[in-house]
Amino acid sequence: MLNKASLDLIKRWEGCKLKAYKCSAGVWTVGYGLTTSAGLIEVGPDTAITQEEADWYLEKTIENFLAEIKPAITAPINENELGAFTSLAYNIGPTAFRKSSALRHFNAGNKDRVPTSIRMWRKAGGKVVKGLVNRREAEVNLFLTPVMAEKPAPARTSPVQSKTMQASVVQGASAVGGAVAAFQALDGTAQIIAMTGCVLVALMALWIMRERMKKWADGIR
């Protein structure tokens, strides 16, 4: 399947109409540029589909286009170049694409000549159409856009591994240990006061640890 940038380009330029209409070339079209020639349904003046059907037809049509054009691409190709070619083929038809100079130059290793060849496909009914000029430019821009490798998400650490959690545990243990030592050195009222302080310090350490646990948990959702 195509990457998101390629799908978004096709959707943007094809548009989606759930009731059949005639495109600039006079062909009955529905959904995202779906015509009878795609081999999925017969598209005529009375054809109407749902949005869900339009999305499904687009996916199936793109799968079919990829199956038809990929064997003709003999040079190494990245995701954006393939997306640009698929958008072009989706618009002009796979047969025209396979015969295009854009594909010929690409397979020959002359990528610098491909943008000019893509821009040639700007006419409908023998006339230059502004919408096609703009679409070809969008395809060229996608074709020339380097594919950026996605950075892997940083590995999540468990609470035991987390340095923040470890610091909280150390703080809590130190507080409790210090309070116990102070308690043993005192007696009577002083012990009661010391014990109260011990409890308060321990509760504070536990509260800090709980808050850090919550932040850690929120981070993995």
**Annotated catalytic residue, options 14, 81, 139, 198:** 14
> What are the backbone dihedrals phi and psi of residue 48, each rounded to the nearest 5 degrees, phi first?
-145, 140
Strand partners, 30: 34
CA distance 211 to 164: 11
Residue with tokens 């700007």: 122
Which one-letter amino acid corresponds to residue 18?
L
User: In 19-41, which positions are buried (b, 16+ CB within 10 angstroms) versus exposed (e)?
Assistant: ebeeeeeeebbbbbbbbeebebe
Q: Could you confirm whether 137 is annotated as catalytic?
A: no
Q: Which of 72, 86, 76, 74 is nearest to 1 (CA)?
A: 86
- How many Å is the maximal CA-CA distance in the chain? 104
Q: Is 3 exposed, middle or buried (0-12, 13-18, 19+ CB in 10 A)?
A: middle
- Find the length of the chain: 221
Q: Could you confirm whether 23 is annotated as catalytic?
A: yes
CA distance 34 to 57: 8
Q: Which two tokens stand for residue 148?
A: 């950026």
Residues designated as active site:
14, 23
